[in-house]
Structure 1
Amino acid sequence: MDKIAKDVGDIQSRLLDHRPVINAEIRYFVREFEEKRGYRECRLLENLNKMVMETNEQMVPTDVEDMNKQLSDVIKRLEAANHMAERVQQRELEAQQSNQLQTNLEQLKEEWAEFLKEQQRLKEEVDAEHARAVSEVSTRYSEKKKDLAKFSLM
């Protein structure tokens, strides 16, 4: 039974235990990159890091000052452009309002002319009605006068 347990343990370790294979791969990887290449990538990365740090130390302060100057110039230009755009917009609004006022004035003149025509027509109607009433009253008055003359002669 011990032999069977030992054989089962060996089979299990071969099938399920991957540590020896992984360890071999790790050793190969380390040997490939550290021993064969002689830390070449590490030295390159360190050199690049050093160059970047030196560049940051030398270039960043002057670049930041230049960028601040340029940004302030850009902001001034943008403010000037914004001011000019506001003036153009204001002029357009004034022109539009002037056009609107002109249109309203013309419309009011037309409405006033129509109102005067209507008043003239109404005046003529009232005058015609008045003339009819005067003629009716005159006719009645003349008839009454004739009747009165007949009665006074009798």
Structure 2
Amino acid sequence: MDPIMTKAAAAEQVVTARLRSGLTWQEVADALGTPLVWTTAALLGNHPMTADQAAAACTVLGLGDDVAEALRLQPYRVRDEAVLSDPTIYRFSEALAVYGPALKELIHEEFGDGIMSAINFRVDIERRPDPDGDRVVVTLDGKFLDYRW
């Protein structure tokens, strides 16, 4: 019996198939009927997909059952230092380093003692035209979880 493909190997096949097919991430998400950022994250190995979602993704991308099997696995959600050094991802870390303390203060002032969930969470991205250069708008939408004693 062959071992189950790793999520990383499945993600490589997904990226290759998507590029070769000429599909955008949005087109793949639309075909699955799932949110764009969630779909992209799941296909890159950061969320488990249901059997139906994994099968549909593999049909759209022309991939096999071995990839679908890997897409259904529960991921390890760990910090990868190599990924964090990517300039785009690093800028998110930099933005949180600069604005994180202020966001924390403002969350506490508005909601009280608690945190924003990253589990009960939605994220979206959009492009906003601007005369000085288009803007990247990232919306982080997490449920507030109060500390209860």
TM-score, structure 1 normalization: 0.17
Q: Which has the higher helix share?
A: 1
Could you say which structure has the larger radius of gyration? 1
Q: Which has the higher strand share?
A: 2
TM-score, structure 2 normalization: 0.18
